[in-house]
Amino acid sequence: MTEIQGERLKIAIVGAGIAGLSLAVAINALDQDHKIAIDIYESTPELSEIGAGVNVWPRTWCIFEKIGLGESLAPLFDHPPNLEPRVIYEIRKADQKDGFRVMEISKNGGGLRIHRADLQRCLVDHLPLPSHSGTKANSSCTLYLSHRLVDYTYQPSSVLPAKKPVVLHFADKPSRTCDILVGADGIKSTVRQLFLTRLPNAPDYQKCLSPRWSATVAYRSLIEKEMLRRLSPNHRALDHPGIMYVGRYKHAVAYSISGGRYLNIVATIHDKSREGTAWEGPWNSEVSRHELLDQFRGWDEEFQQLLQCIERPTRWALHDMHPLDTFASQRVLLLGDAAHAMLPYQGAGAGAGIEDAYILATLLTHRLTSTSSSPDHLSKLIDIYNCIRVPSAAAMVKSTVTQGALYTLAVPELDEYKEGDHIPFDRLLDVFHTVADNWSWTSSDPEEDRRTAVELLQRSCGQARL
Ligand SMILES: Cc1cc2nc3c(=O)[nH]c(=O)nc-3n(C[C@H](O)[C@H](O)[C@H](O)COP(=O)(O)OP(=O)(O)OC[C@H]3O[C@@H](n4cnc5c(N)ncnc54)[C@H](O)[C@@H]3O)c2cc1C
């Protein structure tokens, strides 16, 4: 099809995190008809990413390939992205002086690990911005920094169906308009709050307005492998694809990123006595090494050596959201953590946002969706996005909670034990066989969902023409 003449369908993406950027890249990659204009609005004055690793599963890798990131991203992972069986983690019981190996968990393709800043840079490089002459621009794209969305409204109904009926309001910046607003503004999403309170059955969503604290904190840090090598030349983590240290209500993972330069460490502590309470204070802050070391006193020596290398730990209060039963209505859609913030135990929060982006980009760029699409067509598109993404994200939110309870040996069958106790080996094996089973989806094919979305779109348009 040749380039569509006249105005393009204007998509406003609020939030330039991994999910929002992935949507822009996916739209541009799939927009063969050059019919979409993307405006990205980000509240911060520059794009920055925390210094930490992120796990990408083979399922998400397939999407990266489909949206044209394969060549740039592949060299940044710690192993080639293929489906060979690989170790994800060696599980070690570590809440005692002499820790020991429980089992190894392997899956096809393993877990691909990358520095968040590298992933973000790659996404930004693939935005079709006028300054990126090397990127093929199917869609047009503008990035607006320092634009904090505070509200959205609709053009007065007297002029509907109007072009670009959604009006976006920003703090200290002029208002702008769009055809479709995508809220990719993270777990504290402003768009979600506005969207839910404007639904006809808004009172039903009261508990989904704010994130909920999981009574868990995570300490995160990158450590230089060289530093660990000096302290402990034969440390297991130096040459291992990934280690998970587990104990009652606590666990930690360590894996390599950045070509083996750093080890990414995440250590969680669950405080059962604070379940159901709200977190007070900043969600993340730098804390003393002393605080971190104190939490794991008495743990396995090899794990303590890792902690010794952490110079400036950050502490994150882990929140998730009560699952939503809708991510979209009228011309407003939610994407990524704004739609389904989850706990990090499946290593899949960002991956779920990338899946949202792929499905939504498929629907928006499909030849049946055009600049002159009727509100009726857009509402079908929104129904399909809800139909594909809501159940799978809800299942993922739920399974992260289960997975977290298993990692931290916080399952009812182990209630008789406390931190540091001897737990019979076969009971530990049972727990981690379940963990392994819960990762069976990680190398599944995301194309099935995309095909279903397209079939539903075709069917709904066919019915509309009858
Ligand atoms: C400890 C930890 C470990 C994790 N590990 C993994 C992992 O290994 N693998 C994985 O897949 N996921 C992981 N996750 C989850 C993952 O980090 C998130 O799911 C993902 O980063 C969310 O991306 P997002 O783009 O939806 O939101 P965000 O990254 O929060 O981006 C939202 C953006 O919107 C902007 N914004 C906010 N409000 C406004 C506004 N009003 N107007 C304009 N802009 C606004 C923000 O500045 C930000 O740039 C982990 C999470 C944690 C806490």
CA atoms of 283 and 399, how far apart (whole Å): 23
Q: Which atom of ligand 1 is nearest to the CA of 170?
A: 42
Element containing residue 395 per DSSP (H, E): helix 375-407
Rounded to the nearest angstrom, the distance between the alpha carbon of 17 and the centre of ligand 1 is 6
Q: Which atom of ligand 1 is nearest to the CA of 335?
A: 26
Number of CB atoms found within 10 A of residue 202's CB: 12
Q: Which residues line ligand 1 (CB under 6 A)?
A: 14-20, 41-44, 54-55, 147-149, 184-186, 190, 218, 220, 266, 316, 318, 336-337, 344, 347-351, 353
Q: Which atom of ligand 1 is nearest to the CA of 338?
A: 26
Question: Parallel, antiparallel, or unpaired for β 328-329 and 243-247?
Answer: unpaired
Task: Return the closest-CA partner of residue 112 out of 340, 453, 348.
Answer: 348
**CB-CB contact of 25 with 122 (8 Å):** no
H-helix segments, 215-281: 225-231
Take atom 2 of ligand 1 and give the residue whose Cα is closest: 344
Residue 69, classed as helix, strand or coil, is: coil
**Per-residue pLDDT at 457:** 95
Q: Which atom of ligand 1 is nearest to the CA of 185?
A: 34
How far CA 441 is from CA of 105, 110, 158, 244, 396, in Å, comes to 14, 12, 48, 20, 10
Q: Which atom of ligand 1 is nearest to the CA of 20?
A: 25
Exposed/middle/buried for residue 400 (C-beta within 10 Å: 0-12, 13-18, 19+): buried
Rounded to the nearest angstrom, the distance between the alpha carbon of 119 and the centre of ligand 1 is 13
Q: Where are the beta strands (DSSP E) in 230-313?
A: 243-247, 250-257, 262-270, 284-286
Q: Which atom of ligand 1 is nearest to the CA of 41?
A: 43
Task: Return the closest-CA partner of residue 32 out of 361, 279, 300.
Answer: 361
**CB-CB contact of 138 with 158 (8 Å):** no
Which of 22, 42, 88 to mutate for ligand 1's pocket (most ligand atoms within 8 Å of CB)? 42
Rounded to the nearest angstrom, the distance between the alpha carbon of 462 and the centre of ligand 1 is 38
Take atom 29 of ligand 1 and give the residue whose Cα is closest: 17
**Per-residue pLDDT at 156:** 66
Rounded to the nearest angstrom, the distance between the alpha carbon of 172 and the centre of ligand 1 is 24
**Per-residue pLDDT at 366:** 95
Take atom 37 of ligand 1 and give the residue whose Cα is closest: 185
Question: What does DSSP assign to residue 40?
Answer: E
Rounded to the nearest angstrom, the distance between the alpha carbon of 342 and the centre of ligand 1 is 10
pTM of the model: 0.96
Task: Return the closest-CA partner of residue 361 out of 450, 443, 446.
Answer: 450
Take atom 35 of ligand 1 and give the residue whose Cα is closest: 15
Take atom 6 of ligand 1 and give the residue whose Cα is closest: 347
CA atoms of 434 and 390, how far apart (whole Å): 25
DSSP for 361-376? HHHHHSTT--TT--HH
**Going residue by residue through the chain (466 aa), what tens digit of pLDDT does each one get?**
333 345 899 999 999 999 999 999 999 999 999 999 999 999 999 998 888 999 999 999 999 999 999 999 999 998 999 999 999 999 999 999 999 999 999 999 999 999 999 999 999 999 999 988 888 999 999 999 999 999 999 986 554 455 789 999 999 999 999 999 999 999 999 999 999 999 999 999 999 999 999 999 999 999 999 999 999 999 999 999 999 999 999 999 999 999 999 999 999 999 999 999 999 999 999 999 999 999 999 999 999 999 999 999 999 999 999 999 999 998 999 999 999 999 999 999 999 999 999 999 999 999 998 776 778 888 899 999 999 999 999 999 999 999 999 999 999 999 999 999 999 999 999 999 999 999 999 999 999 999 999 999 999 988 554 4
Q: Which atom of ligand 1 is nearest to the CA of 268?
A: 1
pLDDT tens digits, 286-343: 999 999 999 999 999 999 999 999 999 999 999 999 999 999 998 999 999 999 999 9
Q: Which atom of ligand 1 is nearest to the CA of 266?
A: 1
Residue 465, classed as helix, strand or coil, is: helix
Rounded to the nearest angstrom, the distance between the alpha carbon of 328 and the centre of ligand 1 is 19
Rounded to the nearest angstrom, the distance between the alpha carbon of 230 and the centre of ligand 1 is 34
**Per-residue pLDDT at 157:** 59
pLDDT tens digits, 188-205: 999 999 999 999 999 999
